[in-house]
Amino acid sequence: KAGVTQTPRYLIKTRGQQVTLSCSPISGHRSVSWYQQTPGQGLQFLFEYFSETQRNKGNFPGRFSGRQFSNSRSEMNVSTLELGDSALYLCASSLTAPNEKLFFGSGTQLSVL
């Protein structure tokens, strides 16, 4: 089975731009979670989707949004980028719920200049 695939691996943007990150979960996994990782804040939960529905959202501004498609693939979007959005964005999938074992992708390293 292929693992969790995140694209792109690296991204460089400038302040004010927007960005879309993509995540393909493991086949058969219906829950997809997104995390932001920075050296200062560690891993911060962004949101979780299951069957195209957002079940939980972390404490991030509305500039951060996401969605899940019928094939369980997920995207997250960050609009009006700020320098502080520079981070490693990690996607993780699980069969039904993220309180069980999570499988992580390699992440997208976003740099905002």
Residues near another protein (CB under 8 A): 4, 6, 33, 35, 42-45, 48, 50, 55-56, 58-59, 88, 90, 92, 97-107, 109
Query: Cβ contacts of residue 30 below 8 Å, gap of 6+?
Result: 50, 51, 72, 95, 96
Using the minimum distance from each CB to another protein, give the nearer residue, 20 or 109.
109
Amino acid 110 reads: L
Using the minimum distance from each CB to another protein, give the nearer residue, 70 or 99.
99
Using the minimum distance from each CB to another protein, give the nearer residue, 81 or 89.
89
